[in-house]
């Protein structure tokens, strides 16, 4: 999962490139964070977004604020019932068992979400994300859930967990036709930040 930063240029394109590269680099998807591979992806972003017909101010914006994105990826190993997570920024991965939180990261407290998260950037040679790279190896049981969520939903789930001691994905209607309605309702009450809200639920 990759969530483009609003204040960067063509962040959606960069987020799609990162997510696709993680999947396509199987069986070692974490290699996308090697500098050489990242720089190839950055070149792909540049080829996609730069056009000779762009006005000068659009090119200036692309040069000044290249795409940036938070990222979370999971690799499953069913034979050993284990998984590996690699993440940067405020896209979080929740491991849930019977509504109890087994583990969560890279952010584990709703108060730690900020407007300036760590990001993977489309700037050639940029390495600031490396210090924030979060890796985790875990094991799972049949029926466990792995939930990948963007920052708004991650913050909501962690706040609810602090209040109730549970992580109840069902209450959010994640994966149902009513998810968009739930998001709108939670935003209207102020429980959910008004930001992109995406989740991926994996039943193990």
pTM comes to 0.90
pLDDT of residue 28: 61
pLDDT of residue 37: 87
Map out the domains of the chain with their CATH numbers.
2-203 (3.60.40.10)
Length of the chain: 204
Instruction: Compute mean pLDDT per 10 residues along the chain, 204 residues long, and list them.
Output: 89 93 73 85 90 78 83 95 95 96 97 93 88 94 96 96 93 87 94 92 94
Q: What is the 3-state secondary structure (H, E, C) of the chain?
A: CEEECCCCCCHHHHHHHHHHHHHHCCCCHHHHHCHHHHHHHHHHHHHHHCCCCCCHHHHHHHHHCCCEEEEEEEEEEHHHCEEEEEEECCCEEEEEECCEEEEEECCCCHHHCCCCCCCEECCCCCCHHHHHCEEEEEECCCCCEEEEECHHHHHHHHHHHHHHCCCCCHHHCCCCCCHHHHHHHHHHCCCCCCCCCCEEEEEC
Q: Are 45 and 67 in contact (CB under 8 A)?
A: yes
pLDDT of residue 162: 96
Asked, as a colleague might, if the bond just before 27 is cis with ω within 30 of 0, I would say: yes
Q: Are 120 and 18 in contact (CB under 8 A)?
A: yes
Q: Are 157 and 191 in contact (CB under 8 A)?
A: no
């Amino acid at each position: 999962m990759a969530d483009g930063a609003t204040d960067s240029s063509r962040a959606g394109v960069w987020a799609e490139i990162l997510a696709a590269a993680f999947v396509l680099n199987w069986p070692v998807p974490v290699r996308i964070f090697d500098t050489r591979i990242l720089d190839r992806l950055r070149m792909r972003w540049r080829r996609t977004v730069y056009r000779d017909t762009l006005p000068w101010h659009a090119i200036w914006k692309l040069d000044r604020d290249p795409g940036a994105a938070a990222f979370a990826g999971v690799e499953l190993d069913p034979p050993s019932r284990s998984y590996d997570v690699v993440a940067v920024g405020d896209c979080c991965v929740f491991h849930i068992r019977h509504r109890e939180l087994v583990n969560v990261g890279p952010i584990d407290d709703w108060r730690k979400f900020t407007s300036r998260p760590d990001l993977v950037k489309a700037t050639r040679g940029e390495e600031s994300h490396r210090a924030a790279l979060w890796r985790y190896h875990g094991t799972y049981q049949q029926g466990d859930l792995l939930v990948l969520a963007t920052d708004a939903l991650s913050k909501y789930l962690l706040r609810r967990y602090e209040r109730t001691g549970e992580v109840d994905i069902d209450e959010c209607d994640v994966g149902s036709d009513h998810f968009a309605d739930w998001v709108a309702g939670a935003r209207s009450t102020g429980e959910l930040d008004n930001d992109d809200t995406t989740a991926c639920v994996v039943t193990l």
